[in-house]
Amino acid sequence: MNGGRLRLALAILAGAVLLTVLAPWLATHDPRHAVPEDQLAPPSREYLFGTDLLGRDVFSRTLYGGRRTLGVALLTVLITLLPGLVIGMAAGYGGRWLDTALMMVMDALLAFPSLILALALIAVLGNGVMQVALAVGMAGIPAYARVTRAAVLEARALPFVEAARALGARPAAILWRHIAPTVAPPLLAFAGVTLSWAVLNGAALMFLGFGGDIAAPDWGIMLADARASFRTAPWTALAPGVALSVTVFAINLLAGALAEHPANR
């Protein structure tokens, strides 16, 4: 059962990535080109998913939009994971005072909802794709640091880690050779949760207009544009909405399968 879920999640994600990579060859129209006379055209042979309020091809914009949405999410995850790992490992293995100081800062940041914290960071950083990735990524650091710390605290109490410490192994060697391989599987599973969170929050900030170029193909921007025409032309929101939902579903399915893997129990 777990293997089937894992394969299904990987197949969906591989398909999504492949479609975005092949967007220049699969797209039937320029995703930015507007054809006013074809405004809100329903799905047809010429426009597979119809057109939006400006006459732009929804199918082509969905393909290219995946590039931007998933690219921002991956960058966001990198910004979250690297500092989160360092802070969590330092807190979990660095001693009582370092642990207390770092976790006080993380807890203070966790007091704010992640999207509110990202919006506050956007207000400081300004609008743009890189700013969105940086804001969402920084907002996710406290949660990942907390999870990393908990995993390190559990791992450092294991018998083989205590034996290495008793034999005089250096703290850096214990972290690298013993603790890091032990905590890697659960942290990898939580990275999947972080990725789905990054996709949703990045798309939310794009939806709110913080992505800079509002004409760029992006799933969040497409959903924002579709608000004005959803009642008369629901296909303008259907394609990006389904793409976003299926991608997040697949990521969460993958994270769940990894969390239930025997190595994580």
DSSP secondary structure, 37-53, as one string: GGTTPPS-SSSTT-B-T
Taken as a whole, the chain contains a residue count of 265
Cross-strand bridge partners of residue 51: 57
Q: What is the pLDDT tens value at each position of the chain, 265 positions in all?
A: 567 788 898 899 999 999 999 999 999 999 999 999 999 999 999 999 999 999 999 999 999 999 999 999 999 999 999 999 999 999 988 878 898 999 999 999 998 888 888 999 998 888 889 999 999 999 999 999 999 999 998 888 888 888 877 877 787 788 888 888 888 888 988 998 899 999 999 999 999 989 888 888 999 999 999 998 888 999 999 999 999 999 999 999 988 887 775 455 5
Structure tokens at 214: 């509002």
Q: Which of 180, 148, 150, 151 is nearest to 164 (CA)?
A: 180
Residue 189: what pLDDT?
A: 86
Could you tell me the domains of the chain?
2-20+54-264 (1.10.3720.10)
DSSP 49-60: T-B-TTS-BHHH
pLDDT in tens, 212-230: 888 889 999 999 999 988 8
**Spatial CA neighbour of 80 closest among 132, 21, 35, 139:** 139
Check if the beta carbon of residue 136 is closer than 8 Å to that of residue 201: yes
**pLDDT of amino acid 157:** 81
Q: What angle do CA 92, 94, 99 make, to 5 degrees?
A: 60
Q: Please tell me the predicted confidence (pLDDT) of residue 261.
A: 58
Residue bearing tokens 């893997």: 261
Q: What's the half-sphere exposure (Cβ side, CA atoms, 13 Å) at 211?
A: 26
Tokens read off for 215 = 């004409």
> Given this model, what pLDDT does residue 160 score?
81
User: At 245, which helix (H) or strand (E)?
Assistant: helix 235-259
Assigned token pair, 196: 């789905």
**Structure confidence at residue 1 (pLDDT):** 52
Alpha helices in 22-126 (DSSP H): 23-26, 58-93, 96-110, 114-125
Instruction: Identify the pLDDT of residue 5.
Output: 82
How far, rounded to the nearest angstrom, does the alpha carbon of residue 106 sit from its chain's CA centroid?
Answer: 20
Residue 18: what pLDDT? 94
Global confidence as pTM: 0.87
